[in-house]
């Protein structure tokens, strides 16, 4: 929906009043600097554009570290890929990247400030500080009425204002070294805890919308 903000009139009419989630991207100097140039090329930038831009830098940082550690970029044939009779896929001509696991480890260990915010991974392969905007579709555009994050749950306060107070308590959950077993344990625990929260999501979204409406009424 974020990328469809300039969508057709029919789409906007069909979605009036709908609440949707959008990946949260905090305002920053480097983001504004990029958008000032980006908007000269296209008007369709979105939070996903920021993530895609950072993804390119993510791979670049990982490859740079991969090469600085003395690794070489090379490919080899995969014996598991065999061409079948009558097939035009030519699977046996495909090659796999050697030391792919090492490069992947470098990806998980990357830590830099991107246009979408801090780019660093937790033990269970998630980006740190996950957050979403709660967006209400109305009229011809979108209106942010609240936020969701691991720090605050549903809130009308932007998540970046809460990160500094929780930074010390979250340090041990950041990606550092080979922790595959620990990541699996955390992933299982999160899956088990997810179901009761889903049952409350609809009610809490309505509460956030009501809170935003009340604040607008008070300001008026």
Please state, in angstroms and as integers, the Cα–Cα distance from residue 149 to each residue in 112, 126, 132, 177, following that order. Answer: 20, 13, 7, 26
Residue 155: pLDDT over 90: no
pLDDT at site 47: 81
Write the DSSP assignment of 53-111 as a string of letters: HHHHHHHHHHHHHHHHTT----EEE-TT--PPTT-SS-GGG-EEETTHHHHHHHHHT--
Residue 105: pLDDT over 90: yes
Report the range of poorest mean pLDDT among 61-70, 137-146, 171-180, 200-209: 171-180
pLDDT at site 58: 96
Residue 61: pLDDT over 50: yes
Report the range of poorest mean pLDDT among 71-80, 123-132, 168-177: 168-177
Write the DSSP assignment of 161-212 as a string of letters: HHHHHHHHHHGGGB--S--HHHHHHHHHHHHHHHHHHHHHHHHHHHHHHHHH
| pLDDT tens digits for range 18-56 | 888 888 888 888 888 888 787 777 666 778 888 999 999
pLDDT at site 166: 56
| pLDDT tens digits for range 176-203 | 554 444 444 444 444 444 445 545 555 6
DSSP 45: -
User: What is the share, in percent, of the chain residues with pLDDT greater than 90?
Assistant: 21
Show the tokens assigned to 94: 């495909």
Cβ-based neighbours of 54, under 8 Å, separated by 6 or more: 114, 115, 116, 119
Predicted model pTM:
0.66
Band of residue 89 on the pLDDT scale cut at 50, 70, 90: confident
Burial annotation 59-81 (CB, 10 A radius, 16+ → b, else e): eebbeebbeeeeeeeeeeeeeee
* Average of per-residue pLDDT values in the chain: 76
Q: What is the mean pLDDT of residues 56-84?
A: 90
Write down the domain spans for the chain: 2-219
| Cβ atoms within 10 Å, residue 42 | 8
């Amino acid at each position: 929906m974020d990328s469809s903000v300039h969508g057709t009139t029919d789409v906007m009419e069909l979605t009036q009043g709908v609440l949707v989630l959008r990946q949260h991207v905090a305002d920053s100097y480097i983001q504004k600097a990029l958008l000032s140039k980006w908007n000269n090329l296209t008007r369709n930038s979105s939070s996903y554009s920021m993530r895609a831009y950072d993804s390119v830098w993510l791979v670049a940082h990982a490859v740079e570290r991969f090469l600085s550690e003395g690794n070489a970029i090379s490919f080899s044939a995969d014996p598991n890929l065999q061409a079948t009779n009558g097939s035009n896929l030519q699977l046996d001509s495909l090659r796999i990247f050697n030391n792919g696991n090492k490069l992947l480890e470098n990806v998980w260990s990357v830590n830099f400030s991107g246009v979408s915010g801090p780019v660093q991974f937790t033990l269970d392969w998630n980006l740190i500080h996950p957050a979403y905007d709660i967006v209400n579709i109305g009229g011809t555009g979108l209106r942010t009425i609240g936020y969701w994050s691991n720090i605050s749950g549903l809130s009308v306060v932007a998540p970046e204002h809460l990160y500094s107070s929780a930074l010390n308590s979250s340090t041990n959950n950041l990606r550092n070294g080979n922790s595959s077993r620990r990541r699996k344990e955390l992933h299982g625990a999160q899956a088990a805890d997810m179901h009761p929260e889903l049952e409350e999501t609809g009610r809490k979204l309505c509460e956030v919308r009501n809170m935003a409406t009340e604040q607008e009424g008070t300001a008026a």
